Chain A
Amino acid sequence: MFGMNFLQAVLIILLAAFKAVDLFGPQTMVLGWSHVGMGFLTGLILGKPQLGLEIGANLSLMSLGVVGLGGASVPNFSLTTVVATIVACQTGQDYTVGLTIGLPVGMMSVYLDILIKTVGVGIANRAQALVDAGEFEKGVNSILLMPVLNVLQYALPVAIVIFAGQGVTEAIVNAMPDWLANGLQVAGKLLPVTGMAMLLNYMPVSKHWQYLILGFVLYSYLGLSILPIGLIGLVFAMIYYNSQSQIIELKNTGVAVGGDMEDE
């Protein structure tokens, strides 16, 4: 059981289940959208909150912009965080070693997600058929099987890792040569590019690229930290919003706008 007691195992599985209940339900995000909280709480349960924080932070950066938009299936970095934290805390290894187990689990869960959304087709058809046949209550309530499946999507992989994963993990960790362990350390520094790259593709970079330079200069040359940089960004966003909404108002009131305003 990965060197943890039964209570710790149950708490971690419940944590994963709770994340799923919230994410597939009301999406309050009380644990945060980032994976910082998942790493921190898993680490806390295992007595190493600092290590959990570090893992959660790194996986949050790796997975920035990784969102299953419109029902797309993406690697489950929440699960990766939990599993990587378990492995790192319980084997005493670096977090990059935790990633070697956590990443495959997160990536394989894509198939689980696809499976559930496929099964969902059958559940939806059956529900509608029951309603059409006049069995209103039964048909409508049969849809509730879907939330249950989605909670299992999170809880089951974690349970399998905890109760059956120790042997495999130790075999992998023991067989790992030095060059691979070193390479993983470097990979840990390089992996955040995946999150940044995804974000760059979603952001209005071609229209407002100059603001990337502003952020870069504020950090790299002036050495500001992320919170003050965010506040400076807010100032620029407000200036842009105010100037553009004046243009919209002028247009709406039918007043001719002189000069070469941006056509928005």
Chain B
Amino acid sequence: MSRPVYQLTEKDIKEANFRFLWVSIAAFNYSTQNGPGVAFGLAKALRKLYPDDKDYIAAMDNHFKYFNSQPYMASIIIGAALGMEQELGIEGADAIQDFKTGLMGPTAGIGDSIFWIMMPAIFTPIAAAMAVQGNILGWLIEIAYWIVLHVFRTRFFGWGFKMGSGFISVIKDRLPLVTDSVGILGLVVLGALIPSTVGITTPLSFTLSTGNTIVIQDLINTLLPNALGVLATFIAAKLLGGKKVTMTQLVLGVLVVAIVLSALGIIA
């Protein structure tokens, strides 16, 4: 085994983290996705590990290959991959590639649902609900959450480097449970969010032969408040879930339906 002679310093790892952080998402392309971002991020550190041109080119070619994960998870994986370069050297190229491709999918699934779906689903409504009342406090709470998260997130690359390939066992046990628990919190918020934001009502009413007028909306309010909004949301969710309707089509469809139904006097 030809372990690299050079030992990466704290500063080298910080630099790789910084380069990866700033470029990996922007460098996205349809064929190798974040591959060029990984290559850009590790370029300087790899040059120090592999002073020989042939080794360096081989290592870079390895990292130009297809890679894609949720950005936070990607930081841990790429940090760990650099740790493996340090440990194994150029002969570890295949192992490093297997490690990256084996982990990027499962971790992306977990990272996406926690960091891009559920946590925003908790903090965005807080920001929005207060903003509707003209209050920016909710927005400030949201920003505080992201700043705290970012401080942690910048350390992920270094953690990955220290753990090397050892971090697989850490994520296997606990992360699915974390996802589930955050999901519960998100669902409680969502359950409140749907009736509070989808504010449609119906002006429909009809007069009985006895002369009494029945206002449909009053009926709805006593039985199941905000039922119309809930109903509309579930129809929309079914349409999206069927995979045949895209988000853009849904937005346009909602616009058309709202305009037609309001012109007909069915909803207001």
Contacts and interface: CB of A to CB of B under 8 A. Distances in A.
B126 A121 contact: no
Contacts of B117: 65, 67, 199, 202-203
A30 B189 contact: no
A86 B191 CA distance: 33
Interface string A240-255: 1100110010001000
Nearest to A214: B188
B26 A146 contact: yes
Interface stretch (A5-13, A157-165, A166-174, A188-196): A188-196
A197 to B, nearest CB: 4
B128 A57 contact: yes
Interface in B174-209: 174, 177-178, 180-200
B259 A67 contact: no
A61 B57 contact: no
Q: How many residues of A sit at the interface, in one of the four size bands?
A: 35 or more
A230 B68 contact: no
B146 A215 contact: no
Contacts of A203: 117-118, 121, 183, 186-187, 190
B250 interface: yes
B132 interface: yes
Contacts of A213: 191
A129 to B, nearest CB: 10
Interface magnitude class on chain B = 35 or more
A75 interface: yes
A223 to B, nearest CB: 10
B30 interface: yes
Interface in A218-264: 218-221, 224-227, 229-230, 232-234, 236-238, 240-241, 244-245, 248, 252, 264
Interface of A: 23-34, 36-37, 39-40, 50, 53-54, 56-58, 60-62, 64-67, 69-71, 74-75, 103, 107, 110, 117-121, 123-125, 127-128, 131-132, 134, 136, 140, 143-144, 146-147, 149-150, 179-180, 182-187, 189-194, 196-205, 207-209, 211-221, 224-227, 229-230, 232-234, 236-238, 240-241, 244-245, 248, 252, 264
Interface of B: 21-23, 25-37, 39-40, 43, 47, 53, 56-57, 60-61, 64, 68, 71, 108, 112-113, 116-118, 120-129, 131-132, 134, 136, 138-139, 142-143, 146-147, 149-150, 154, 173-174, 177-178, 180-200, 224-226, 229-230, 232-234, 236-237, 239-241, 247-248, 250-251, 254-255, 257-263, 267-268
30 contacts: A27-B25, A32-B146, A33-B123, A40-B131, A53-B132, A53-B136, A60-B128, A64-B125, A127-B39, A128-B64, A131-B61, A136-B43, A143-B40, A184-B255, A187-B262, A190-B258, A191-B251, A191-B254, A193-B229, A203-B186, A204-B183, A208-B187, A212-B187, A214-B191, A216-B191, A216-B230, A224-B192, A233-B186, A244-B181, A245-B177
